[in-house]
Structure 1
Amino acid sequence: MIRYALACEAAHEFEGWFGSSDDFDDQLARGLVACPVCDSKAVAKQIMAPNLAGTKKNTPDLPWPMRSMVMEAMGQVRRHVEENFDYVGDAFAGEARAIHEGRSEDRGIYGEATPAEVKALIKDGVRIAPLPPAAPKKSEVN
């Protein structure tokens, strides 16, 4: 995925995520990229500094109350999935594909998949999302 800083002709700034540079160009040409503020289709990429791995910290420092709220929301999402979806273990990729193709019952599932399996599912249009990580056990935290 590529994140672009974008701006419309009215100078409203926003960002967009695309599968590739070609995906952005294609969507822009078809009028599918629009400003979320004014709905202008006259959108252009802005200059961005690349996000490179290195010694500098790349994650923003969130104030503790906000960080706590985000962590709690992620925990609620994970609990909801674990309580309401079927766990399929390492058969996730095959079962997700079978559901997508109508060969298996349409239901929520979760499990494990290799990076190659995830990439292939996304490429084929299978709608998947990563599950938020489990909170560390209190015994494992200082």
Structure 2
Amino acid sequence: MIVFDLCCAAGDHRFEAWFNSSDGFADQQARGLIACPVCGDSDVAKAVMAPRVGAKSNQGTAPSAPVAVPAESMKSPKGGDISPELVRKVVAGIAAQQAEMLPQSRWVGRDFADAARAMHEGRAKEDLIHGQTSPEEAQALRDDGIAAMPLLVPFVPPEAAN
């Protein structure tokens, strides 16, 4: 899999999308299957990208999963179009709330599942925490009735920040 930064010609919006290969991108682009998630423009091209340098093998980072949403799926539950402005406002609101909450929360790193379970079982004091966990550990927390949710906006762990 390969991720490309893309941009549309109409609104100059930037977004990321995953492809099986460069040829897969070229094929989808030629068939008009890629659309800007903000304005729906299908005149999409690769944008200039900074190289993605992986972390050292002994220092993992949280996986991210950027997704380009097709314009056809941008419908409200009542059947009307969702405006790009509304999408921007909602995402900005989520990002602002997350930025406000994180400083009040304690980073526990890869010990997130253990820390959440300890608080749930009364072995540790209740606290706001954030950290990293595998999808399997997150599912086990949900199965055991332990409240946890992913951060909706990408987050750089403190040890990975410059």
* TM-score normalised by length of structure 1: 0.51
Q: How much does 1:93 deviate?
A: 0.4
Match of 2:128 among 108, 118, 123: 108
* Residue aligning to 2:87: 67
String of CA shifts for 1:29-86, please: whole Å, max 9, x gaps: xxxxxxxxxxxxxxxxxxxxxxxxxx99545363122011111111012112211100
Secondary structure of the residue that 1:102 maps to in structure 2? coil
Are residue 117 (structure 1) and residue 137 (structure 2) matched? yes
* Residue aligning to 1:77: 97
* Residue aligning to 1:88: 108
- Determine the C-alpha separation between the residues in 2 that align with 1:56 and 1:103: 48
Q: Is the 8 A contact 1:78 1:134 kept in 2?
A: no
The residue identity in structure 2 corresponding to 1:69 is: K
Query: Taking structure 1 as reference, are residues 59 and 111 closer, same or farther at Cα in structure 2, changes over 3 Å only?
Result: farther
- Determine the C-alpha separation between the residues in 1 that align with 2:82 and 2:133: 31
Q: Is the 8 A contact 1:81 1:110 kept in 2?
A: no
RMSD (Å) for aligned C-alpha atoms: 2.2
- Determine the C-alpha separation between the residues in 2 that align with 1:82 and 1:63: 29
The residue identity in structure 1 corresponding to 2:103 is: E
Query: Taking structure 1 as reference, are residues 59 and 89 closer, same or farther at Cα in structure 2, changes over 3 Å only?
Result: farther
- Determine the C-alpha separation between the residues in 1 that align with 2:136 and 2:74: 26
Q: Which runs of 5+ in 2 are unaligned?
A: 1-69, 76-80, 156-162
Query: Taking structure 1 as reference, are residues 69 and 56 closer, same or farther at Cα in structure 2, changes over 3 Å only?
Result: closer
Query: Taking structure 1 as reference, are residues 62 and 129 closer, same or farther at Cα in structure 2, changes over 3 Å only?
Result: same
String of CA shifts for 1:6-37, please: whole Å, max 9, x gaps: xxxxxxxxxxxxxxxxxxxxxxxxxxxxxxxx
Query: Taking structure 1 as reference, are residues 114 and 68 closer, same or farther at Cα in structure 2, changes over 3 Å only?
Result: same
- Aligned residues between the structures: 81
Query: Taking structure 1 as reference, are residues 66 and 56 closer, same or farther at Cα in structure 2, changes over 3 Å only?
Result: closer
